[in-house]
A and B are shown apart, each in its own frame.
Chain A
Amino acid sequence: MLTILFDGFAYGMILFVLACGLSVTLGLMNFINLAHGAFAMAGGYLTVVLMNRFGVSFFLCIPAGFLVSAALGVVLERTLYVRLYARSHLDQVLFSIGLVFMAVSAIDYFMGAQQQLITLPPSLQGRVSLFGIQVGIYRLFVIAICLVLAVALQLILSRTRFGSQLRAAVDDARVARGLGINVSLIFTVTFAFGSGLAGLGGVLGAEILGMDPTFPLKFMIYFLVVISVGGATTLTGPLLASILLGIADVAGKYYVPTVGSFIIYTIMVVVLILRPQGLFGRANAR
């Protein structure tokens, strides 16, 4: 029972680490960025290349994945995304899907279509006993990173000057500009941050999910489920939603395997019918 709970929690955390970057771009900047998975894939493939070809340590890949994806985010934001902030959601969807198609083919071209795997350093392999249950060290590691991330993000948003400037810029870009806030800089930084988080998710997810060129499409649905169930306007929402979905999914598949595959979708539909703005979203959200 406890094992199932822990497994669900850990699974939820993996969902969160992949989705939290999206909650930054989608939730905070109100940009439907379906190419989120492509940034995650960038981080993941960077890890694969660094570890398998150059023998770089996994621990170094974590910040590298974040930085490279963030840099990629800056470049794309400045050149392309910035033109689309004012456009309709449908244009954003079309545009970002186009980017995903390009990323998928490009990775296929350079890296091949087969799945790429990494091998963790020995210190992250194996299991330890915790509160009487056996838990995987790597899962603990992911959970720890996620919790730190969640707290840090929440603090940045609610406590710092940057956070309040960002919220102001999102709520009304014109007024914010009038107040002397450099809106475009703030958006660039935020977008880079979201992309970086995606890259981080890719690094951490590479071990468990594996990397192949269709990664951004395969996991897009999961990102979106987490964000919509949690509500896009906060960060705690997606966090709690990930945990809820993770535990429900794992427990459901354990106890009632015949309906296992329905659980995650059913929860999503039911939640959205009852609370269209998501479980923890603000009711007056855009």
Chain B
Amino acid sequence: MNRRHLFAAAAASLALFAATGAHAQQTVKIGLILPMSGPFASTGRQIEGMAKLYMAQHGNMVAGKKIELIVKDDTGTADVTKRIAQELVVNEKVSVLAGFGLTPLALATAPIATQAKVPTIVMAAATSIITEQSPYIVRTGFTLPQVTAPLAEWAPKNGIKKVVTLVSDYGPGHDAEKAFKETFAKGGGQVLAELRVPMANPEFAPFLQRARDAKPDALFVFVPSGVGSAVMKQFAERELAKDGIRLIVTGDVLDDDILNGMGDTALGVVSSHHYSAAHNSPENKALVEAFKKSNNMRPNFHGVGGYDGMHLIYQALKKTNGDADGTKLLEAMKGQSWTSPRGPVSIDPETRDIVQNVFIRKVEKVNGELYNVEFATIEKVKDPVKAAKK
């Protein structure tokens, strides 16, 4: 009991401290913690580029406060991420933490968000459980079940009754596998085999061979974006399509960042995701144009999470009239809705997850480049895992 008291007192004094710190200044600091080096650097680069682009487009003054962005490299390790988050809160007195490329990094930081009452915006990490770890976590990226379930709904309606699933053997992979299986079964589909691929694995031959042996109508794949191209290439090389096996994937596999390099092997592959650089809206066209100009690459789904994350912070600050108190900002973020380059989105006030449209897309050639062209929309999708818990 003593401990709990102490803890509460510490948290309260800290919150007070954080609040006074923020009040005293005319600057609102945002700590952006991203993987800027190592295997997930491209995620960090996308989000950083987008956050800076948003600030360039919308100015750095909101409701009379100057916005300052502090970018830190988390090196992809959880303890470093947590330490950086702590330092940003304690030393820099940031009002908002943002970024987080991988699930464990977000989970490690969750206690800091709660303790310091700092709104923490998860822009990329996609495991469902993250927002449940702290009432101060808000997500502007996506959850894997959220983008997987619509595909599992679409498949049985389009002649796919038997599927083999292939996912990377880690948290998000398990999430995707489970979400696909459950939704697919509801639509009358049958999962013949569930394959899990080790994370460090350049060779997919044995898994693709197993998939072929099971003779499914389609192979469902989720792997993180860098690994996706290897699956695509080997799927094409083994000519599984000639055995009547279709390839359906989550959009991670067909990451806009590298899609064009995959070549014609990717043509016709069906995927589901919440964002495509080919999304047909004036907001998106302007964004793609601007991002190509400033960063010389196509925006991808992680990037748009960063863009919307910044937008959410700006909107919340406007609503509080520049009051950067953590709890007030958080309340202002809940229930926000706006038209993002990916389509209409909103923040679910209960789960603090993003509610968004999910699209079924097909890879096609547009002006000589490969794009995921959307052909069906499932509107206002919530994270199905949390919806099922109610």
Contact = CB atoms under 8 A, between A and B. Distances in A.
Contacts of A249: 203
Interface in A252-282: 252-254, 257, 260-261
Contacts, number: 105
Interface of B is mostly: helix
A209 B201 CA distance: 10
B195 interface: yes
A113 B239 contact: no
Interface in A117-142: 117-119, 125-127, 134, 136, 138-139
Given A207-B233, A257-B195, A261-B198, A127 B203 contact: no
B282 interface: no
A119 B263 contact: yes
A7 B212 CA distance: 14
A209 B237 CA distance: 14
Contact of B206 (A119, A139, A207, A253): A253
Given A134-B239, A209-B202, A254-B206, A113 B261 contact: no
B169 A253 contact: no
B230 A210 contact: yes
B41 A116 contact: no
A186 interface: no
A52 B196 CA distance: 33
Nearest to B203: A11
Contacts of A254: 206-207, 209-210
B240 to A, nearest CB: 11
Nearest to B227: A210
Interface in B158-209: 169, 195-196, 198, 200-203, 205-207, 209
B369 interface: no
A213 B205 contact: no
A213 B206 contact: no
B39 A214 contact: yes
Contact of A113 (B42, B198, B200): B42
Nearest to B236: A125
A114 interface: yes
Contacts of B42: 112-115, 212
Interface residues of A, number: 43
Interface residues of B, number: 37
A115 B203 contact: no
A3 interface: yes
B66 interface: no
Given A115-B258, A125-B237, A210 B205 contact: no
A119 B233 CA distance: 10
Nearest to A214: B39
A257 B210 contact: yes
Contact of B261 (A105, A117, A136): A117
A102 interface: no
A126 to B, nearest CB: 7
Nearest to B196: A257
Contacts of B237: 125-127, 136, 138-139
A260 B225 CA distance: 22
A129 to B, nearest CB: 11
Contact of B209 (A4, A136, A214, A260): A4
B264 to A, nearest CB: 7
B206 A251 contact: yes
B45 interface: yes
Interface of B: 37-39, 41-42, 44-45, 169, 195-196, 198, 200-203, 205-207, 209-210, 225-226, 229-230, 233-234, 236-239, 257-258, 261-264, 297
Given A113-B42, A253-B207, 18 more contacts: A4-B205, A7-B205, A7-B206, A112-B42, A113-B44, A117-B262, A119-B264, A134-B238, A136-B237, A209-B230, A212-B39, A213-B41, A214-B41, A251-B206, A252-B206, A254-B207, A254-B209, A257-B195
24 contacts: A4-B209, A10-B205, A11-B203, A105-B37, A108-B37, A112-B45, A114-B257, A117-B258, A117-B263, A118-B261, A125-B236, A134-B239, A208-B234, A212-B39, A214-B38, A250-B205, A250-B206, A251-B206, A253-B207, A254-B207, A257-B195, A257-B196, A257-B210, A260-B206
